[in-house]
Amino acid sequence: MVEMLYVMMLAIVVGTALVIALVPESPTGSPAEAEKTTHGKDADGRTGSASPQSLEGVLVSQLSSGEINRRQYVREMERLAARDDKRHPLVVPPDLGSAAA
C-alpha cells in the first residue's frame, strides 16, 4: 500500500515536470509583457493600430472612427453580403430521405 503511494507521488512529480518542460514559453517572456505588446503597441514599441485585413475590417474601422454612421455601415454590409452571395452561392445538398429508410 505504501509502495503504491510512492509510485503515485513519483508519477505526479514526473508528470508535472514534463508539463512544465513541454509548455512553450511566450515569445516576449512573461504573459504580462506579451499583453503590453498586444494592447496599443506593436512589436517595435510604436503606438498605433494595425491596418484592417478585410473589407469588413475597413468598414468597422470607419464606423468606429466616425467616418461613416451606423446606417451607412449596415447598407455597405448588405451590399457586401449580396456580392458574396453572387460570387459564392450557398448550395444545399439534395434531401436523400431519412437515415432510417
Please report how many Cα atoms fall inside a 13 Å half-sphere around the Cα of residue 98, on the Cβ side.
2
CB 35 within 8 A of CB 41: no
Q: Report the C-alpha gap between 75 and 65 in whole angstroms.
A: 17
For each of the chain's 101 residues, which pLDDT tens digit applies? 778 888 899 999 998 888 888 876 655 555 555 555 444 444 545 455 677 788 889 999 999 999 999 999 999 999 999 999 999 888 888 888 776 65
Nearest to 49 by CA among 35, 65, 33, 29: 65
Phi, psi of 57 (to 5 degrees): -65, -40
pLDDT per residue over 70-94, tens digit each? 999 999 999 999 999 999 888 888 8
